[in-house]
Amino acid sequence: MAIGPRIQFAKRGQDRGLSVLGARLAKRRIEIGLLYSRSGTYTLIAEACRTGALSAIAEINADPDCDVTFIPVERDPGGNIDHYGPLCEEILSQTSARHIIGCVTSWSRKEVIPVLERSGGTLWYTVPYEGFEASDHVVYTHACPNQHLIPLLDWALSRHGRRVYLTGSNYIWGWEMNRLTREIVSGAGGEILGERYLPIGGLEIGRIVDEIEATRPDFVMNSLIGASQYQFIAALRDLGLSDERFAPENCPVLSCNLTECELPALGAAGEGLVAAGPYFRGSTSWPGGGSFGSSHEAATAAAVHALARLLAGRPGAEYESLSSLLASPTAGACNIDPKTHHSTLPVLIARVQSGQFRIIEECGLVAGDPYLTRDRSQATAPEGRTLRVVK
C-alpha cells in the first residue's frame, strides 16, 4: 500500500476557486482505463500493478489540493492476447477515458498501440520491457534494458564468470533480452552455452535443466514468465540441492522482471535469485519516496500520480494529446523524458534472502535509453563501469 503524498500540489486554493470559507476544491471527475488480466499465467504481476493503480487513484481522490478525481474504468482481457485490442477500443469508444493504465506483456502492448494511434489514446505501461520502442502514445514508467539487463550483466560477468545459459518465454521479451545478453556477453569475451524457449505457460522445463546440468554455466539468464518461470526455478533449486555446483551462490539465476509480487509463487525455491529493478521493498531511492509492495506497484502508482500532475489545475487537459501534455509546464516534474517517454529510475540489484529481496548493489539513477543509443559508455562497456552509489 502506498503511503504518504508523493505529489505536493501547491496550495493555490483561491486561484482554483476554493472558497474562503474552506469548502473543498471542486473536483473534476476524469475516467481512466485499467486494462489488466485478472486471470492467466502472469496474473500476479497484473494484480500488483492494479493494486498500485487503485491505491494511487484513492490517494489522488482523497487529496483536497488536487482538483482531479479519477474514476477507474476496468476491462479484463483474461490473459487472452486477442482481447487486448478490442477491450482497449471499447474503453476509448464507450467511455470518456483517454488514458489507460495497463498491459503486462510486450505482446499485448503491441496489440493495443494501433488502437491508441487511431483513437488518440495513451497507454501508461508500468512493467519492465525489452526496449526498442518509443511510441508517441505510450508512457513507459518501469525499466528498459539499460536500467535492468545491462547493469545486471555488469554485476554477474564481473562476479560469477562469462559462461552463460539463456532461457526465456517464447515471445519478444525473451527473444530480445537474450539477443542483447548474447551481444553483451560475447562483447565481454564470454560464451553462450545454450538458449532455450518455452511457450508462455509451458511447463516442459526438463530439457532446459538437463542442458544447464550438462553445460555447467557460471550463471543463468532467465526471461521466462509466469508458471514456466515458477516451474523452472523450483527445478533449478532441486538441482542445486543435489549438486552444490548449481547452488545459487555458484550458479545464480538472474531475472529482470522478478519482484516481490511473485515471491509467494516461488516459496523456498526463490532463495538466492538475483534480480534487477528500480525498487525493492524497503529501498529509499524511489523518486518521490513512498513504500510499495513491489516495483510493479510502485511504477503503476507513479503513472497515476504523473497523470494527475499533468491534468491537475488544467480543465480540459484530459483530452489533450500525450505530446501536448508532456510539453506543458508541469511535465518537467513528472520524471518522463518528452523525447522517449521513458522514465529516470533507480537501478538496484537485489538477491532473495530469507524470503525477501536484499539490495546488493545500487547503481544510482539512470535515464531510460530504449534504443541504447544515448549512453555509450554504459551500453558498450559491460566491464569496468564505475557504479555510483546513492543513499
Binding site for other proteins (CB under 8 A): 113, 117, 132-137, 179, 182-183, 323, 339-341, 369-374, 376, 379-380
Q: Which is nearer to other proteins, 39 or 186 (CB)?
A: 186
Q: Which is nearer to other proteins, 71 or 381 (CB)?
A: 381
Q: Which is nearer to other proteins, 162 or 281 (CB)?
A: 162
Q: What is the DSSP letter of 286?
A: S
Q: 273: which 3 cell numbers?
A: 535469485
Q: Which amino acid is at 237?
A: R
Shortest separation between residue 325's beta carbon and other proteins, angstroms: 15
Contact 287, 336 (CB under 8 A): no
Contact 168, 178 (CB under 8 A): yes
Contact 346, 286 (CB under 8 A): yes
- CA 239 to CA 262: how far, in whole Å? 21
Shortest separation between residue 378's beta carbon and other proteins, angstroms: 11
Shortest separation between residue 229's beta carbon and other proteins, angstroms: 26
- CA 345 to CA 138: how far, in whole Å? 17
Q: Which is nearer to other proteins, 108 or 285 (CB)?
A: 108
Task: Find, among 209, 247, 249, 252, the residue nearest to 228 by Cα.
Answer: 209
Shortest separation between residue 133's beta carbon and other proteins, angstroms: 8
Contact 107, 172 (CB under 8 A): yes
Angle 166-168-171 from CA coordinates, rounded to 5°: 135
Q: Which is nearer to other proteins, 166 or 200 (CB)?
A: 166
Q: Which is nearer to other proteins, 8 or 373 (CB)?
A: 373
Shortest separation between residue 84's beta carbon and other proteins, angstroms: 17
Shortest separation between residue 210's beta carbon and other proteins, angstroms: 25
- CA 317 to CA 322: how far, in whole Å? 10
- CA 257 to CA 249: how far, in whole Å? 20
Cα distances from 349 to residues 30, 113, 243, 295, in angstroms, run 37, 31, 26, 12
Q: Which is nearer to other proteins, 113 or 236 (CB)?
A: 113
Shortest separation between residue 341's beta carbon and other proteins, angstroms: 8
Task: Provide the Cα torsion 199, 200, 202, 208; round to 10°.
Answer: 60
Shortest separation between residue 282's beta carbon and other proteins, angstroms: 34
- CA 300 to CA 48: how far, in whole Å? 9
Q: Which is nearer to other proteins, 150 or 312 (CB)?
A: 150
Q: 233: which 3 cell numbers?
A: 526455478
